[in-house]
Amino acid sequence: MTIWQSVLTTASELYEPRNWWGIAGLLIVNLGVIVTAICTGVVLVRQRGVQRDTSEVKAQVVNGRADKDPLRADVDKALDGIARIEGQVDGLYRMLEALFDRRAGADRRHSDHPHGGPERRSGHDRRQ
């Protein structure tokens, strides 16, 4: 007999409940085991529900919903729309960059003019 077996045998011989107070003592001593077992059961029941919900979502993603396309198709459409918007923003950026380059070139040409730039010609306006 090992040490643990002898300890358990001695403990079981020492504590044998003879009335309701003894049973209550056993419940208190084993309360940790009881709570752990109950929590494990609750987790297992909830896990089944989560697996069922996950399977339903997966089916909707792959196969589609009642009268609609699959969710993956919706996501693909949204990503295509974002890509188009990015392309349009890039086009606007290139247009603005070209406009700023032309403006800078025009400003350089006016400052190189022998009569000076527009700020120096204020007295020599031809519209008068």
Distances (CA, A) of 14 to 2, 18, 25, 28, 32: 18, 12, 13, 17, 21
Distances (CA, A) of 99 to 10, 67, 102, 103: 95, 49, 5, 6
Highest mean pLDDT among 17-26, 59-68, 96-105: 96-105
Q: Is 60 exposed, middle or buried (0-12, 13-18, 19+ CB in 10 A)?
A: middle
| pLDDT classification of 74: cutoffs 50, 70, 90 | confident
| pLDDT classification of 85: cutoffs 50, 70, 90 | very high
- How do residues 36-62 score in pLDDT, each as one tens digit? 999 999 999 888 888 888 887 777 777
Q: In whole angstroms, what is the distance from residue 86 CA to residue 2 CA?
A: 74
